[in-house]
Amino acid sequence: MNIVAVDIGNTNVSVGLFLDGKEESIQSLPGAGEADLRDCLVSAWQKIPVLESSTQGKRDGVIVVGSVKPVWTELVRRMAGESLGEEIRVVGEDIPLPMSAWVDEPEKVGADRIVSAAAAYAVVEDAVVVADFGTAVTIDLVDAKGVFQGGVICPGFEISAQALKDNTAKLPKVVVHRPTTPYGKNTADAINCGLYYSIIGALEEIVRRYAEEIGHWPQTVITGSAAAMIKDDCPFVDNYVPHLVVKGIVLAYVKHLESQSEMD
């Protein structure tokens, strides 16, 4: 099974190549860089072997997309058609979500949240919290039976830093990084410490409240572009998994194939 899995976020796009079900590479790049994104997509697709039975060089693979940004979904659809002569399959549209969601409006939950939750549960096979640190921060709970229960959404570091700059007279815009001390000696460092430690504190408090709700402390998995920066200051986190959404997109497609074979 050969898959190019594309995770379209609000800021970045990740392109993963899986050959015979094994991860070969995952590359992340700004979604606004159309030329680079096209090159990345074409490069990944060209590594998929050609079908032995094809006389036209058709490759033995699929392009599966999980997206929270429809305009970029259409961009990738156009790129795949124009540059590769291929159609994409979109999780939540062409491919069912891999996990049921016990929420008010399941169809409005971002596909990225569901597929990453499903990927984490597939490994843990018990209650698990999945926190994704991207443009927004999502902290979601899956119960012991593998049902997505919902979660919280917080502003990410970039949004929070921009909001402080835009809504005050003198505070500067900062790029959040891991502090050397828990307090700042100047305004920029004070903002950095505040944003950095507040999101870690929020994560720990939210996980604690989830634990009180379900009666035991769930395993906690973090992912996303900013997760690598904070992981060493989160001793309560069990695992840091880069590109969990990409892996969840692959899982969604595999489960879809399995359900189809069972119906045949």
Q: How far apart are CA 170 and CA 168, in angstroms?
A: 6
Q: Which residues contact 169 (CB under 8 A, 6 or more apart)?
A: none
User: Which residues are annotated binding-site positions?
Assistant: 7-14, 110-113, 132, 135, 187
CA–CA gap between residue 122 and residue 100 (Å, rounded): 13
| Known binding-site residue numbers for K(+) | 132
Main-chain dihedrals φ then ψ at residue 31, nearest 5 degrees: -65, -25
Q: What does 147-197 look like in DSSP terms, one character per residue?
A: -EEEEEEEE-HHHHHHHHHHTSSSPPP------SSSS-SSHHHHHHHHHHH
- Specify whether 112 is catalytic: yes
CA angle 236, 225, 155 (to 5 degrees): 80
**Which member of 112, 143, 166, 238 is catalytic?**
112
Decide if 26 contacts 16 (C-beta within 8 A).
yes
Q: What's the farthest any 2 CA atoms get from each other in the chain?
A: 68
Residue set of the binding site for substrate: 110-113, 187
Chain centroid to CA 70: 15
Exposure string for 117-129, b = 16+ CB within 10 A, e = fewer: bbbbbbebeebbb
- Binding-site residues for ATP sit at 7-14, 135
Q: Which residue has the tokens 């697709």?
A: 45
What residues act catalytically? 112
